[in-house]
Structure 1
Amino acid sequence: MKTTPVTPADLARSVLAVPPLARYSDLTLNEEANRQLIAYLEAGGVSTLMYGGNANFYNLPLSEYAEVLEFLCAAAGPDTWLIPSFGPDYGRLIDQARILRGSRVPTAMALPQTFPATPDGVEVGLRRAAVTMGKPLILYIKAENYIAPEAAARLVGEGLVCMVKYGVVRDNPADDPYLRKLLDYVDPKLVVSGIGERPAITHLRDFGVAGFTSGAVCLAPRGSMAMLAALMRGDVAEAERHREAYMPFEDLRDGISPIRVLHDAVTLAGIADMGPMLPLMSNLAPAEQDRVRPAAQALRARDAALAEAVAAE
């Protein structure tokens, strides 16, 4: 597992996978299923794993945090960068930061809280969390009123933020004054697109950010990695070709629930049994599963075909 400090090259070397977390019916951690998903991602070329919203870290009990963190560190491969999350409220940020301080991970992502919170309060809270952790954190911006670009720059300049995950959803990702202002203050090489494949091409090509996160990569890691490689060499047409394969699945995530669809899709695609979701979330209804299953299986089948094509070369 990567334990060295985060560099801009780390943000661009892999799609940042954001996987779900598998549990048994009694809600205890299913270590074997989680290892299966990690191995599937690593075999597909993914070397960065970010456990956040899709893993339902928002609802992770504090009493379970150290155990989950220790397991994920042990399950990650020797070249894999593991990124846990902490927060979102101030109390959890500080309590979990104390646990993270003694861990081997070089950073962790602060989950965003929009209520009750103010931009000035967020800056103060994240500063205290990073100092308590003794390591720079990852700033996750999901709403433009979460933190001011100037404040983000201050945290970066103080060495308290090593990366910004930008996840504000726009109807047109090219029309984003907040992101442009953010990049006036923060080096684009420290920013990643945080909304999956849909806006990734625009964010990397037009804004110059370093990379992108993905949940669908859990179903089809090779296609997502091929999309990133195409973008890195400036082949937008090839990147678009790979991106289009993900859109039917992403449409289902946007139409039902991004987190719940991904969680159950890993099971429905036959990759690993993710089991029940940790409350306060719930699994898909049977009718929703029937809609998701074909798209999930199609993505996995496409990725298997990509693997066969590479092996035949």
Structure 2
Amino acid sequence: MPDQTAPRSLSPRLAEALSGVSGILVTPFDAEDRPAPDRLAPIVARAAAAGIGALTVNGNTSEFYGLTFEEARRMQTAVPQIVGGRSVVVAGVGRSVAEAAQLARAAKADGCDAIMIHQPPDPFRAPRGVAAYVARVAEAAQGLPVLLYLRDDGAGTEAIAALCDIPGVVGVKWATPNLMNLAAARRARPDIAWICGLAEPWAPPMTALGARGFTSGVINVAPHLSMRVLRALQRGDMEDANAAIAAIAPFEALRAAEGNGANVSVVKAALALAGEAVGPARPPAAWPLPAAALDALKAVMAAWPQE
């Protein structure tokens, strides 16, 4: 077993970035439904200027499962060049173990700073099978730090701790609402970076349990709102953190519509309303937004506090 008293080794820059806001970038599409990574330039520039420390390509807000392997590979190659060192870049990898390993193997040469392994969505996955999957992908990453994206904690604390034993794993993005399970997992593995994977509304309770940093999709549109939440949490001002979250909450509520099928659609619609069209959300996402949802989104954005 690894040393349970000291955090696993992370570069100071990556450690700082992961304890801040991990922004999940959209995947822009052109009129022919092809990825158009150059359209990320103003989004990346705004996020970096606001202080977003980590940017993820091929995350769920990136429509990872709606991309072909070749499209995911193209985005992984392009995003580090667009970011240009202003933030650390985390590459989401997943699907078949061969595809995930291939993306992981290329990530370092592409200029990524870490990889994030999507939890396999296979309905027949076994805990030891997931461990074998993570081990193979982590080995392919050629020394890049590995984050686990956990959306289902049903395997239990022991199985999650075993995943954290795998060489290269440095952190877990906890994306389930089961707070007591997070607390138990963190007690079992205090040497791992635990990150809130459910965005701003869940950041205060997860921070109280020892998680540091949180994921965010609103950073594509209004990164200053995410940074206000982070800074409030860092100074222990829960009142201000909750006030900042209150401005984001209606946006997140719209994203949760249609069984969370509007998650990416609302972000892309907001960008279009802001004059930065990045194309539609691909099926099976909910697109276009209903007129009532679009009107509500306009009102939400109009009410946002300025930087």
TM-score by length of 1: 0.84
Please name the residue that 2:87 is paired with.
Answer: 80
1:47 maps onto 2:50 in alignment: no
Structure number with greater CO (CA < 8 Å, separation at least 6) is: 1
- Would the aligned equivalents of 1:17 and 1:48 in 2 still touch at CA under 8 Å? yes
CA distance in 1, matches of 2:242, 2:12: 33
How far has the Cα of 1:46 moved from its partner? Answer: 1.5
5 Å matches for 1:126-141? 126-134=134-142, 135-141=144-150
Pairing partner for 2:228 from 218, 222, 226: 226
**Is 1:66 the counterpart of 2:69 in the alignment?**
no
1:127 deviation in Å? 0.7
Equivalent of residue 19 in structure 1, options 25, 31, 52: 25
Task: Pick one of 278, 282, 305 that aligns with 1:274.
Answer: 278
Partner SS state of residue 110, structure 2? coil
1:185 aligns with 2:197: no
Q: Are the equivalent residues in 2 in contact too, given 1:261–1:284 (CA < 8 A)?
A: no
1:85-127 C-alpha deviation (Å, 9 max, x unpaired) = 1113323212322322533223111112232322221111011
Do residues 259 (structure 1) and 268 (structure 2) align? no
* Cα distance in structure 2, aligned partners of 1:158 and 1:142: 19
What SS class does the counterpart of residue 265 from structure 2 fall into?
helix
Give the CA deviation at 1:295.
1.6
Please tell me the root mean square deviation across aligned C-alpha atoms, in Å. Answer: 2.3
- How far apart are 1:268 and its partner, in Å? 2.0
Q: Which 5+ residue runs of structure 2 have no aligned equivalent?
A: 1-9
SS in 2 for 1:162: strand
* Distance in structure 2 (CA, Å) of the matches to 1:295 and 1:184: 39
Give CA-to-partner distance per residue, 1:259-300, whole Å, 9 cap, x none.
222222222233x2111224443523342323323223433x
Is residue 213 of structure 2 the alignment partner of residue 211 of structure 1? yes
How many residues in Structure 1 have an aligned counterpart in Structure 2?
291
Letter in 1 for 2:204: I
Aligned equivalents of 1:274, 1:188: Cα separation in 2:
39
Q: Say if 2:164 is the partner of 1:156.
A: yes
Structure 1 residues 65 and 20: alpha-carbon distance in aligned structure 2, compared to 1, 3 A threshold? closer
- Residue 25 of structure 2 corresponds to residue 30 of structure 1: no
Instruction: Write the distance in 2 (CA, Å) between the matches of 1:36 and 1:27.
Output: 20
Q: 1:121 matched to which residue of 2?
A: 129
Contact 1:5 1:106 in 2 (8 A): no
What does residue 173 of structure 1 align with?
A: none
Segment drifting more, 37-46 vs 288-297: 288-297
CA contact (8 A) 2:97 2:136 kept: no
Distance 2:15 2:54 in 1: 13
Out of 238, 241, 263, the residue aligned to residue 239 of structure 1 is: 241
**Aligned counterparts of 1:5 and 1:84: Cα–Cα separation in 2:** 19
SS of 2:114 mapped into structure 1: coil
Instruction: Rate the CA distance shift 1:239–1:188 in 2: closer, same or farther, 3 A.
Output: farther
Amino acid at match of 2:30: Y
Q: Secondary structure at the match of 2:173?
A: strand
Once the 2 structures are TM-superposed, how far is the Cα of residue 200 of structure 1 from its aligned partner?
Answer: 0.7
Alpha-carbon distance change, 158 to 114 in structure 1, aligned in 2, over 3 angstroms: closer
Q: Secondary structure at the match of 2:55?
A: strand
Provide the rounded CA distance (Å) in 2 between the counterparts of 1:120 and 1:16. 28
Paired with 1:114 and 1:68, the residues of 2 have a C-alpha distance of 22
Q: Conserved in 2, the CA contact under 8 Å of 1:189 and 1:208?
A: no
Q: Partners in 1 of 2:229 and 2:272 — Cα distance? A: 24
Verify the 8 A CA contact 2:199 2:214 in the aligned structure 1. yes
| Counterpart residue type for residue 218 of structure 1 | N
Work out whether 1:97 is the aligned partner of 2:104. Answer: yes
Question: Helix, strand or coil for the counterpart of 1:108?
Answer: strand
What's the CA shift string for 1:130-180, capped at 9, x where partnerless? 0122233210110112x443333334344321211000135xxxxx32112
SS of the aligned residue for 1:55 comes to coil
Task: Report the 3-state secondary structure (helix = DSSP H, G, I; strand = E; otherwise coil) of the residue aligned with 2:86.
Answer: coil
The residue aligned with 2:151 is 142
TM-score, structure 2 as length reference: 0.86
